[in-house]
Homo-oligomer: A and B are copies of this chain.
């Protein structure tokens, strides 16, 4: 039942945000009584956190594993810029390969959280922010002479590019006359890697051998 509630709330929060969804809309969509939210999760805000936290920790761990895996395989700490970016864009791969609608909903919610000052501060520091350090360190290995400032701007640009894709707004469908699809994470992923890698190289100076 807990999982069922989380699934339903996840989808609704993803499409309309925290304030745009009422407890009663959630319980109605889930086919349960209003009081059950309080029984399982307490306040509405705690439900929201539960929804967010459920997949955030999993995702964060997978990302770190993906980042470390390439180091191990190569037999040296060296890894290509593309591999580092690939690890960061892992959410796209997860959602695509799992075929789980829940992951798609969660990622749209994640996009909402990343682009909102309010939720950003409340939800990201706990888990996600801590892993960003690993990612930036990996970038640092690739660009030994880059300024810390530039690496962080790169991170923000990468994060923004990813976020808008995760949001699945349907805008690219409209603009391209159906040529591209918001839900086509596979294509978005493949094209994003060379795009972002080239961007990083353009502003981070000489790359390590």
Bound: A192/B118 CA distance, A: 25
**Binary interface profile of A, 102-142, with partner B (CB < 8 Å = 1, else 0)?**
00000010011011111011001100010010001000000
Contact B180 A149 (CB under 8 A): yes
Chain A residues within 8 Å of chain B by Cβ, number? 62
Query: Which listed residue (B111, B115, B120, B191) contacts A203, Cβ 8 A?
Result: B191
CB A85 to nearest CB in B, in angstroms, measures 11
Query: Which listed residue (B148, B161, B171) contacts A161, Cβ 8 A?
Result: B161
Q: Which residues of A contact B (CB under 8 A)?
A: 15-20, 108, 111-112, 114-118, 120-121, 124-125, 129, 132, 136, 148-150, 152-157, 159-165, 167-172, 174-176, 179-180, 187-188, 191-192, 194-203
- Closest residue of chain B to A111 (Cβ to Cβ) is B115
Query: Which listed residue (B112, B154, B187, B194) contacts A115, Cβ 8 A?
Result: B112
7 contacts across the A-B interface (CB closer than 8 A): A18-B20, A148-B179, A152-B175, A159-B164, A161-B161, A194-B203, A195-B203
Q: Please give, as numbers and ranges, the residues of chain B lying within 8 Å of A169 by CB-CB distance.
A: 114-117, 120-121
User: What is the predominant secondary structure among interface residues of chain A facing chain B?
Assistant: helix
Q: Please give, as numbers and ranges, the residues of chain B lying within 8 Å of A195 by CB-CB distance.
A: 153-154, 157, 199-200, 202-203
